């Protein structure tokens, strides 16, 4: 049976969701973040050397990195669903979004999380104003303009059909859900971009998304990276 090594409040929620969309049976092995560091527990390193989630094990294979997991699941269990036909321009666009989600959209969001944590981290009182100043400057000069650039781009792309590829839901929408949920949670979006808010509302209403939430447990991406 396929196993999802699931870290609470993490990207592996996305894998549970795709498995629910595909109707593939799976079991969940749960891992809890350290409440102070928010890092995964060391047991996850026994599954994959980096000890990050998601990781899946299936048929003797261990697969990490959410984009690779999505490609594997669609290739093995998709039966033509949730991805455009190989060799088409739509497939190239689909591949683009699978990579863009982690390669381009997530880095500024991760930096934002780090900047927010620096500003609120415990430290000697005399260091606090300096740390806050550095975090604020980093946000104002780099992180926030980058987020604006990416979110404006995503807004434009999504406004064509409401999905990332073509007229229908694909696994690219699953892969892009996490950066958009993270942007809403920590990027201060709060529904300010109607296209993105509408996309999130549509995906959250999908029965498979709801089932994945029930199986995965609490999902509060504010808490982690």
Which CB atom, from 77 or from 219, has the smaller least distance to ligand GSH?
219
- Report in angstroms how near the CB of residue 102 gets to ligand GSH at its nearest: 4
Tell me if 116 contacts ligand GSH by CB under 6 A: no
- Report in angstroms how near the CB of residue 199 gets to ligand GSH at its nearest: 19
Which CB atom, from 109 or from 151, has the smaller least distance to ligand GSH?
109
Cα–Cα dist 67/31, whole Å: 21
- Report in angstroms how near the CB of residue 64 gets to ligand GSH at its nearest: 6
Which CB atom, from 125 or from 218, has the smaller least distance to ligand GSH?
218
Q: Do the beta carbons of residue 204 and residue 181 sit within 8 Å? A: no
Tell me if 185 contacts ligand GSH by CB under 6 A: no
Tell me if 39 contacts ligand GSH by CB under 6 A: yes
Tell me if 6 contacts ligand GSH by CB under 6 A: no
Q: Which of 2, 4, 7, 147 binds ligand GSH (CB under 6 A)?
A: 7
Determine how β-strand 26-31 pairs with β-strand 2-7: parallel
Q: What residue ranges in the chain does DSSP mark as E strands? A: 2-7, 26-31, 55-58, 61-64
Q: In this structure, what DSSP letter does residue 205 have?
A: T
- Report in angstroms how near the CB of residue 141 gets to ligand GSH at its nearest: 25
**Residues 12-15: contacts with CB under 8 Å, at least 24 apart:** 12/53, 12/54, 12/55, 12/66, 12/216, 13/178, 13/212, 13/213, 13/216, 13/219, 14/54, 14/66, 14/70, 14/174, 14/175, 14/177, 14/178, 15/54, 15/56, 15/66, 15/69, 15/70, 15/73
Which CB atom, from 42 or from 75, has the smaller least distance to ligand GSH?
42
3-state DSSP assignment of residue 27:
strand
**H or E stretch including 189?**
none
Cα–Cα dist 24/91, whole Å: 23
Q: Which of 10, 170, 177, 184 binds ligand GSH (CB under 6 A)?
A: 10
Tell me if 28 contacts ligand GSH by CB under 6 A: no
Tell me if 53 contacts ligand GSH by CB under 6 A: yes
Tell me if 52 contacts ligand GSH by CB under 6 A: yes
- Report in angstroms how near the CB of residue 120 gets to ligand GSH at its nearest: 19
CB atoms within 10 A of CB 148: 12
Q: Which of 6, 11, 150, 186 binds ligand GSH (CB under 6 A)?
A: 11
Contacts to ligand GSH by CB under 6 A: 7, 10-11, 39-40, 51-54, 65-66, 102, 224-225
């Amino acid at each position: 049976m396929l196993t999802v090594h699931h870290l609470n409040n993490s990207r592996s929620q996305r894998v549970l969701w795709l498995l629910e969309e595909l109707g593939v049976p799976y079991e969940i092995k749960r891992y809890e973040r350290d409440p102070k560091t928010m890092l995964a527990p060391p047991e996850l390193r026994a599954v994959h050397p980096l000890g990050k989630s998601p990781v899946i094990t299936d048929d003797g294979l261990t697969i990490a990195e959410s984009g690779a997991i999505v490609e594997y699941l669609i290739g093995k269990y998709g039966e033509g669903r949730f991805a455009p036909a190989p060799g088409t321009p739509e497939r190239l666009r689909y591949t683009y979004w699978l990579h863009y989600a982690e390669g381009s959209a997530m880095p500024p969001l991760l930096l934002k999380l780090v900047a927010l944590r620096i500003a609120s981290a415990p430290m000697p009182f005399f260091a606090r104003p300096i740390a806050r100043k550095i975090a604020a400057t980093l946000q104002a000069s780099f992180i926030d303009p980058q987020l604006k650039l990416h979110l404006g781009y995503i807004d434009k792309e999504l406004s064509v059909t409401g999905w990332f590829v073509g007229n229908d839901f694909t696994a690219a929408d699953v892969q892009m859900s996490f950066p958009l949920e993270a942007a809403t949670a920590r990027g201060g979006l709060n529904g300010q971009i109607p296209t993105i808010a509408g996309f999130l509302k549509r995906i959250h209403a999908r029965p498979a998304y709801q089932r994945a939430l029930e199986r995965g447990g609490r999902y509060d991406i504010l808490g982690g990276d």
